[in-house]
Structure formats: structure tokens, C-alpha cells
């Protein structure tokens, strides 16, 4: 009988303790979610909020794996190069900030990729010595810096891409290139927006001699808006032309409408915007500000013609030019066509170039006047979540009509020959990345604040938005203040 009582009371004690423990917290202090009820925001999917122009619907790495960059090494596990060279859809985020000294260019060859530079803690990411190249489709790059310089002895653009489709470059900063700062042409459904391109190197290491160029821009359904070009001798930008394509007489695969609007061009040397042989271009509401190095202040567009008279694309391009400002030249501002010059052309040639209606330009939620574009671009262009000393200095030059240095090899008035002329690469502060228990790219604190489980990898779920993955909602939230205020 004593034995039966002992069993009875033991069983009762276990039951009591079990019931009691159900009312106590788990050993894990992290709240656990049980069948959470989500109400995702109904919204239209863009590349990201604020994406405009022909590349605004690029998907990048949406739906793919999240890859973390955990060090500043040139290559190897945890490096940016490794993340870029991975296959499959992927969204690259950063657990580090600082300067990555490249031993060679990084080329994106596998499609469906998003590089979210805004996720870097501290002062962000800068690439040094070599370029970042795009050689694939469906690419989103945001809030990155590529500041090449001459130490790597690379004759290249700081960032470039051609012969691909569905690409958007947003809020990036490029400088100190030895060829062009950033060249993008022959792409289809392309946008480059809110970028800073500055101080390409003029008398540097390029085998062809004098350079110092902003970029070659063109393509088929290609948008360039709210970009700041400063301190380039030439190509601000150079619009593309048939001779650079594999089959100059048949460029329809690579050329179509190029929409160039709301850009700011400061302190060009010999030429501002030029070229465009046999192409089709909008030039709308751009702001040209001559500077100390500017030799052609009254020439906004210097149009060229394809020189081979037997070519099927012989002739000047077609241009819709309206709403642009050349600071200090009221006559041009009243009639933009006064600021257009047809190289070696006749009056009839110039008249034939002029379009009276704008070309189709993709989707736009907002278009600024030239003055508004100037004001907004100096505030928000480039990797502006945390502006480094280079961009801050460039913006100050643009606002005040000044420059920082003479070139060390004969260039002058802000057109430089080496990055050392202006002090070289700034030191970037790095901070510890926030805790991310499930390693899904979203910090625990942010997940908890948004009713997500910090111990469950749910980066690619759509709990918060019908348009964007959870990880996209996070990376977009980091720059929401900029996105909300730039338009």
C-alpha cells in the first residue's frame, strides 16, 4: 500500500510541476512566435522603392539566398568576390565596412544578383585599385563606392557593363578611374540613377595618353537620371555611337531610346555632353554648371555624325532637348537649342536633329525641373547613407563653384592626374554588425520590431510585403529616409 501511495503522489507531483512550467518563460529569452498572423503590405513590385526609368522593374537576387560579406579580403571565404562569383539568385549584404583592396577586377558573370552596400555598418564599402564589371543580366547594385586610383596600374573604368539587360545602378560613387569613370552602353532596360562620378584621372597611366573622362552612355531603353558628374575633362557623358559596336551598320540590337534627365554636370574641361551619332536621345531638365576648368561653357551638347557616308546609320542623332539649364547663360536657358552644336554640320543638319516631342522614357513617378534636380542631387547622390570625405568634398566644390587641387602631371583647375593630388583614399570607420541569430541578413532587433522570428531564416518569405522579400524590406528600410526625400 505504501508503494501504491508513493507512485500516486509522485505522479501527482509531476503533473503539478508540468502545469506550473507551462506558465513560465522559456529558458530562451527570445519570444517565440506561434502561427503568427501576417498582414503584408499590398504594393507594386519595383527593383526597390525609388527605382525609376527603364530599369525600374529589375528583380536582381529576389527570392534567392542571402550571402554575407564578413571580411575585406580580396578573395576567399567571406569576401565580396566570393559572394559575387556564387551562382543562383543571391542578395549580398555586409557585416563589415571599409576599403577592399582588389588584386584584379571583379566581374559579375552569374545573373540574378543584388548587392546591397547600404547594409554595411559604419562608413560603407569602397573598392580600390581595380574595377567592378557587369557581364550578366538582372543586376541591382546599390550604395557602393568604386575608387580605382593608379596604384593597381589598371587601365579601366571604375564601374562598367555592356551587352546585357535588366540592370539598375543606384546611389553609387565612382572616382579616380584611368579610363572612364563609368561606362554603360549596349544594355537593354537599364537605369543608372543617383550616382556620383568624379575626378577621373587625366594624365595618368592610360596607354593612349590624356584621358580624364566621365563615361560613355547609351543603350536600348536606357535611363540616366540624377547623376552628378564633376571634374572630368571630357565625356560628360559621351553618348554612344555605331563604331563602338560589333556591326556598326546594324546596331538595332544594342541601340534605342536613351533618356538623359535631371543630371548635374560640373567643371567639364573641353566638352560637356557630346556624340550620339545616329542615335535617339532625350535631354531633359539637366543642370550644367561651368567651372574653373571649363573651356566650352556655352556648349551643352556637341553632336557628332557617323563619318562613313556609306553606312546605313550615317548621320547625326535625333535629340529632344528641353528644360535644361546652363548656369550663367540665360539665352540658352530660354532656348536650349542655342546650346547645341552640330560638329562640322550645316544649319540644315542641326535643324534635322531636333525633335519636337520627347521620346518614350519608361515609368516615372516624379520628374524634377533642372533647378530641383541640382538641389536634390547635391543632397542625396552617391553612396549617401554615410558620405565619405571624397563625396562630401566633391559636393562642396559643386555647390560653391570651386575645386580642390591642381593635377600633379600638368592638369589644372580641379582636373587631376592622380588620387594623391587630392589626398587619396579616406579611412572608413567600421562598426560591429548587429546581432543576427539566424544568419538571414536581418538583425534580431529589426526582426522583433517587425514581428518576425529572429531564430528562423525567413529572408525570402513575403510576410511584410506582397512585392518584396523580407530581406528586401529590411535593406530598403535602411535608406527609406533618403528615398522618401529625394523625390
| Structural domain harbouring 241 | 149-422
pLDDT number for residue 436:
99
CATH code (residue 403): 2.160.20
> Looking at the structure, do residues 343 and 234 belong to the same domain, yes or no?
yes
> Looking at the structure, do residues 333 and 482 belong to the same domain, yes or no?
no
Flag whether 283 is in a domain: yes
Q: What's the gap between Cα 161 and its chain centre?
A: 12
With vertex at residue 127, the alpha carbon angle to CA 56 and CA 225, rounded to the nearest 5 degrees, is: 30
pLDDT number for residue 9:
42
> Looking at the structure, do residues 473 and 383 belong to the same domain, yes or no?
no
User: Is the Cα torsion angle 140, 142, 144, 146 positive or negative in sign?
Assistant: positive
Flag whether 383 is in a domain: yes
> Looking at the structure, do residues 352 and 475 belong to the same domain, yes or no?
no
The parts of the chain modelled with pLDDT lower than 50 are 1-35
Cell numbers at 17, concatenated: 510541476
pLDDT number for residue 23:
36
pLDDT number for residue 314:
75
pLDDT number for residue 312:
65
Q: Check residue 471 and give left, alpha or beta (phi > 0: left; psi -120 to 50: alpha).
A: alpha
Report the 10 Å Cβ neighbour count for 47.
26
Catalytic residues: 235
> Looking at the structure, do residues 213 and 323 belong to the same domain, yes or no?
yes
> Looking at the structure, do residues 299 and 231 belong to the same domain, yes or no?
yes
> Looking at the structure, do residues 281 and 185 belong to the same domain, yes or no?
yes
> Looking at the structure, do residues 185 and 248 belong to the same domain, yes or no?
yes
Q: Residue 133 is inside which H or E element, if any? A: strand 132-134
Flag whether 248 is in a domain: yes
Structural contact between residues 215 and 182, judged by C-beta atoms closer than 8 angstroms = yes
> Looking at the structure, do residues 449 and 402 belong to the same domain, yes or no?
no
The DSSP symbol for 385 reads G
> Looking at the structure, do residues 331 and 456 belong to the same domain, yes or no?
no
Q: Can you tell me the distance from the alpha carbon of 405 to that of 114, in angstroms, rounded to the nearest whole number?
A: 36
Output the pTM of the full model.
0.91
Q: How many CA atoms lie within 13 A of 441 on its CB side?
A: 30
Q: How many CA atoms lie within 13 A of 286 on its CB side?
A: 27
Flag whether 213 is in a domain: yes
Flag whether 390 is in a domain: yes
* Cis-peptide, bond into residue 237, ω within 30° of zero: yes
> Looking at the structure, do residues 359 and 459 belong to the same domain, yes or no?
no
Flag whether 378 is in a domain: yes
Provide the β-strand partners of residue 321: 283
Q: How many domains does the chain have?
A: 2
Report the 10 Å Cβ neighbour count for 48.
23
Flag whether 13 is in a domain: no
User: CA separation (Å) from 249 to 267, 278, 418?
Assistant: 35, 11, 39
Cβ partners under 8 Å of residue 400, min gap 6:
none
> Looking at the structure, do residues 214 and 275 belong to the same domain, yes or no?
yes
Flag whether 394 is in a domain: yes
Q: Can you tell me the distance from the alpha carbon of 222 to that of 243, in angstroms, rounded to the nearest whole number?
A: 19
Cβ partners under 8 Å of residue 155, min gap 6:
178, 179, 205, 206, 207
DSSP for 137-190, written as a single string: SSEEEES-EEE--STT---S-SEEEES-EEEEEES-EEE--SSBSEEEES-EEE
The DSSP symbol for 435 reads P
Amino acid at each position: 500500500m505504501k508503494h501504491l501511495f508513493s507512485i500516486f503522489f509522485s505522479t501527482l507531483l509531476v503533473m503539478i510541476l508540468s502545469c506550473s512550467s507551462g506558465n513560465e518563460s522559456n529558458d530562451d529569452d527570445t519570444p517565440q512566435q506561434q502561427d503568427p498572423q501576417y498582414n503584408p503590405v499590398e504594393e507594386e513590385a519595383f527593383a526597390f522603392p525609388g527605382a525609376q526609368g527603364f530599369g525600374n522593374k529589375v528583380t536582381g537576387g529576389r527570392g534567392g539566398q542571402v550571402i554575407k560579406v564578413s571580411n575585406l579580403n580580396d578573395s576567399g571565404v567571406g569576401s565580396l568576390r566570393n559572394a559575387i562569383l556564387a551562382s543562383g539568385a543571391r542578395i549580398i549584404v555586409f557585416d563589415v565596412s571599409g576599403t577592399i583592396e582588389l588584386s584584379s577586377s571583379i566581374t559579375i558573370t552569374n545573373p540574378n544578383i543584388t548587392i546591397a552596400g547600404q547594409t554595411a555598418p559604419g562608413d560603407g564599402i569602397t573598392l580600390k585599385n581595380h574595377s567592378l564589371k557587369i557581364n550578366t543580366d538582372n543586376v541591382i547594385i546599390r550604395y557602393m563606392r568604386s575608387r580605382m586610383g593608379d596604384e593597381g596600374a589598371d587601365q579601366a573604368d571604375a564601374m562598367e557593363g555592356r551587352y546585357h539587360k535588366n540592370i539598375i545602378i543606384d546611389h553609387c560613387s565612382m572616382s579616380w578611374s584611368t579610363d572612364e569613370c563609368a561606362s554603360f552602353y549596349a544594355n537593354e532596360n537599364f537605369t543608372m540613377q543617383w550616382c556620383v562620378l568624379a575626378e577621373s584621372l587625366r594624365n595618368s597611366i592610360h596607354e593612349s595618353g590624356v584621358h580624364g573622362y566621365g563615361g560613355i552612355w547609351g543603350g536600348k531603353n536606357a535611363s540616366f537620371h540624377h547623376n552628378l558628374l564633376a571634374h572630368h575633362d571630357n565625356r560628360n557623358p559621351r553618348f554612344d555611337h555605331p563604331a563602338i559596336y560589333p556591326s556598326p551598320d546594324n546596331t538595332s540590337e544594342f541601340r534605342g531610346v536613351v533618356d538623359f534627365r535631371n543630371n548635374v554636370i560640373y567643371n567639364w574641361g573641353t566638352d560637356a555632353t557630346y556624340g550620339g551619332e545616329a542615335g535617339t536621345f532625350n535631354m531633359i531638365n539637366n543642370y550644367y554648371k561651368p567651372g574653373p576648368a571649363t573651356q566650352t561653357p556655352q556648349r551643352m551638347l556637341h553632336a557628332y555624325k557617323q563619318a562613313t557616308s556609306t553606312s546605313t546609320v550615317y548621320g547625326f542623332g535625333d535629340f529632344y532637348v528641353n528644360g535644361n539649364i546652363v548656369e550663367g547663360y540665360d539665352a540658352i536657358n530660354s532656348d536650349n537649342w542655342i546650346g547645341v552644336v552640330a560638329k562640322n554640320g550645316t544649319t540644315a543638319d542641326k535643324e534635322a536633329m531636333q525633335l519636337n516631342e520627347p521620346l518614350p522614357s519608361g515609368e516615372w513617378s516624379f520628374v524634377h525641373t533642372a533647378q530641383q534636380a541640382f538641389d536634390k542631387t547635391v543632397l542625396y547622390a552617391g553612396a549617401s547613407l554615410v558620405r565619405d570625405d571624397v563625396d562630401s568634398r566633391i559636393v562642396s566644390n559643386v555647390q560653391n563653384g570651386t575645386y580642390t587641387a591642381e593635377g600633379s602631371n600638368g592638369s589644372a583647375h580641379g582636373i587631376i592626374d592622380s588620387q594623391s593630388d587630392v589626398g587619396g583614399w579616406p579611412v572608413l570607420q567600421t562598426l560591429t554588425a548587429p546581432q543576427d541569430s539566424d544568419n538571414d541578413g536581418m538583425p534580431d532587433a529589426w526582426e522583433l520590431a517587425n514581428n518576425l522570428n529572429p531564430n528562423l531564416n525567413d529572408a525570402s518569405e513575403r510576410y511584410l510585403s506582397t512585392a518584396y522579400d523580407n530581406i528586401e524590406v529590411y535593406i530598403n528600410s535602411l535608406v527609406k529616409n533618403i528615398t522618401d526625400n529625394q523625390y
